[in-house]
Structure formats: C-alpha cells, structure tokens
Structure 1
Amino acid sequence: MVASTRYLLDVVELKAPSKALLEVLVDSREFNVARQVVEEIRRMGVSVRVEYLDVGDYVVSSDVAVERKTVSDFVSTLTKRNLFEQLSRLRDSYSKPILVLEGDLSSIPLLSSINMNAVLGALATVARMGVSVVPTPSPSGTGRLIALLARQERRPQQGEGKRRVKAVRRSGLSDEQLFFMCGLPMIGRERAEAILRVYRTPLEALKRVDGWPKRVDGIGEVIVKRVKEVLETPFKV
C-alpha cells in the first residue's frame, strides 16, 4: 500500500500558480520538527500559516485536518496510550479527520518489540473511529499529499481570491481549567492537558497529585514536589 501511494504521489503534478491562492495552517510545534513537509507544501504552490493549533498538526479547511505520525511516533503513542485521545479530539472537531502515517510499516519490528498484530489492531480501531488513515513514504510525500488536499478542498464559489483557513478553537470553561492548571509550577499547557485528560477536573487532579508520576506522561517527582509546595505552604503577605 505504501509503494502504491509513493507511485500516486510521484505522478500527481500540482502546478504552482504565480501567486498562492490556497492556504494551510500548520501547528507551531509541528512546524519546528517537520520543515521538509512545510517546504514541500510551499513548493507545490500552497501558502503556509503557522499558528498554535488546539487540535491536529495541519488544518486544510473547515472540514479537513491532519494528524501526522511517523512510523516511530505511531508506535510510541501506542505504548503511551494517548493516540486514540488525540484522534478522538480530531474527529470531534473536524468532519473529515485524517491520520497520515509516514514511513515504512515493515520497519516496525526494527524499531520496537511491539507485536505487529497490535499495530494492525490499532489501525483497525482508528478506521472504525471514522478517521481516515493515509500512508506516505516520506516527509516530502506528506507535503505533497497535504497540498493536494488543499486543492481538492477549494470551493468553486470562492472565486480566485485567497482562501483563508480558520482552525477550530476550544473556548469557555475548558480554557479556564487549562489556564488554572498552567498556573502551577512547571506545568505548561501540554502537561495541563495531559493531567486533565487523566483526572477530568482540576479538583480531582489536585486531590490525587501524589499519583501524577504513575498516571501522567512527562510528570515526575520533582514537579509534584514543587506543586505540593505551592499548594501546602501557608500564604504570607
């Protein structure tokens, strides 16, 4: 399947217009680690705008968003058990969610001791969730795929003006909960989200702060010690 995808991406020609009329949003964190993907999108004549995205790595339209995983990333997220949470959020935010699986699946036995049946079972679960799985052979292949998606998503009624893509934004109470958790020492947005995904509410998380290292990835005893110091030290004017 990967080989056939490579062939399709090789024969697709996207002629870049003199001025890019299409735009794709890329998450700022993804931008820092996937420059080849971004360069290929631009080379195909699609403009790239970098933003902090709440959901997904690339937003192609109001309907289509992409989560990109290299094969090694995919295996890693399986062992950490956060893949399905990421994709559930993607599916709940966009009507056409896509998981791009970048690289050679046959290399998995060389990268991890995880059973191949577990990998295939995970892919089957992703498909049953309603998330399309699209393999690509390389970062440049991923970039070409995203550029092609941008072309296909272009609405005829939009004419020749540049199409400005908007990302789905979560707001309201969830943002306030994240803001509250981010106020704790050494807890940034990613750790705050990880904590709340496990404990659901800030109150429950604070009640069970001693258990964070065992249940939350990226949280160790040093962080817990600093958080408890803030929570338990009497306030002094």
Structure 2
Amino acid sequence: MIKEHVVQIIVDYHEAPSGLIDELSEYEYETKTYHLTTNVETTRLEIGDIICSDRVGIERKSVDDFINTIINHERDLAGQMADMTRAYKSPQVILEGETVFGIRGVHPEALRALKAMITVNFGIPIIPTMSVEETAAQVVTIARREQFRDKRKISIPHTKRSTMTMPQMQRYVVSSIGGGVGGTKAERLLKHFRSVRKVMNASIDELCGVEGIQKTTAEKIHKVIRSEYKA
C-alpha cells in the first residue's frame, strides 16, 4: 500500500514574485512506496526565507541578489548570516542561478571572499541550484528528510533580527576569520582597509602592512579565506 507523505514547508511571502511558492505548492511525485505532496504555509519570517524543520532554515539568494550584495549591500549579508546561526541549528544558503562569475564586472576574488565568509566564518553550507524549479526540489528533499526520516517537527524560531550596529557586525565577521585575529586586530584591519571585502581580498604583503599583523598571522588569514570548504 502506498503511503501518503505530506511535507510541511513554511515560506516567507516575499518569495512569491520568484515563483518559488507556486513551485513548492504544486510539487508532487510518487515512488513505489509513497506519494509525496506539500503543504506550504506563507507568512512573514523574521529570519530566513524557508523553514523545513525546527532546526533547518534556508536563506535563498538568486545570483542577482548575491551580486547586489557585493555591489551595494555587502555589509548586510554578515548580519543576515549571524542571525541565521542564532535562529537555526542547521542554517543553509541556497544560491540559485547558473553562475556568479563573470557577471556585471565583479572580480571573481570578491565572489570567492563572500562565499568564504558564509562558509568559513559562519559555518553555513551553500547549496547551488540552477533554477527555481531545482530550488523547490532541493527544499522538498531537505524537508522530507527532516520530517520523515529524522522525525523533526516544523516551527518558526522566536529569534529576532540582530540589533548589532554595522561596525559591530563588521568586527564580528573579521574577528571570526581565525588565524589569531581577535577583536583588536579586527579593528586595526578594518581601520586600515575600510571594508570587510577589502580585508578578504588583501594579499599577504598588504595584511603585513597593518600594525600587529605578523607574516604568520597574515598567511593563516590568507589561507583560511582562500581554502576550499571541505566538511
């Protein structure tokens, strides 16, 4: 006998223009053992765009969103990621689109630095998808795994958005790089380079030009930012 699996998903109503809510609502498939459908609740989420369980929250970023973050709102992303780690035990980022490289003249190193901040500084995995249809399929897979395999409930976290000031968020990001960078050195790096992105893009020699940053520390910072994430 085929079992009915109804996957519960909570989505922020701001996702409606992207088509994601429609894709999730219409998602359905059948295997030899079960028939899967979805029950999608739309609401205003304080943190994140999609909730799959009491521990999994997802921030969805289109390629354009990601590029705009670098060009116009780089600093906002650090606050979003900090909020995600506070609100969800297993936060995720879905990056939707064919490629982020070679678009609108943004240097590839800036894109890699931003990805490094998300994965290394905050420990949040980035799941790439090619389209809104693939995003919906990935979300349903995560939600089904959480709710039917791991028997997790679904709930909206009570965590509120961070009230950290912009300088506090910037210091938090830089001080989390590792390699011996604490609050004092993070402050010096930011005063010298004037932005998180410029710290991330700095060469070893440029890092060594900052008071208190020795070559060994600079090499560690450089390695952490540019190393591929391997969980």
TM-score by length of 2: 0.60
Equivalent residue in structure 2 for 1:92, among 75, 86, 94: 86
Structure 1 runs not aligned, ≥5 long:
1-15, 175-192, 201-237
Whole-angstrom CA distance in 1 between matches of 2:82 and 2:41: 24
Residue 134 of structure 1: aligned partner? 127
Q: Cα 1:21–1:124, aligned 2, differ >3 Å: closer, same or farther?
A: same
Alpha-carbon distance in structure 1 between the residues aligned to 2:63 and 2:3: 33
Question: Partners of 1:197 and 1:28 in 2: how far apart?
Answer: 27
Structure-2 change in CA distance of 1:132 and 1:121 (3 Å): same
Q: Residues of 2 paired with 1:164 and 1:149: CA distance?
A: 13
> Aligned partner of 1:165: which letter?
I
- Measure how far apart 1:199 and its partner are: 8.4
Contact 1:103 1:136 in 2 (8 A): yes
Superposed CA RMSD: 2.6
1:146 matched residue in structure 2? 139
Structure 2 counterpart of 1:168, which letter? P
- Which runs of structure 1 show a deviation greater than 3 angstroms over 4 or more consecutive aligned residues? 155-158, 196-200
> How far apart are 1:166 and its partner, in Å?
1.3
Question: TM-score w.r.t. structure 1 length?
Answer: 0.58
- 1:147-186, aligned counterparts within 5 Å? 147-155=140-148, 165-170=154-159
User: Does 2:60 align with 1:72?
Assistant: no
Q: Percent of aligned positions with the same letter in both sequences?
A: 23
Aligned CA distance change for structure 1 residues 93 and 170 (closer, same or farther; 3 Å): closer
Structure with more of its chain in strand, by fraction: 2
Q: How many residues align?
A: 155
Give 1:198 deviation, angstroms: 3.8
Unaligned runs of 5+ in 2: 29-36, 169-231
The Cα of 1:21 is off from its aligned counterpart by 2.4
Distance 1:102 1:125 in 2: 18
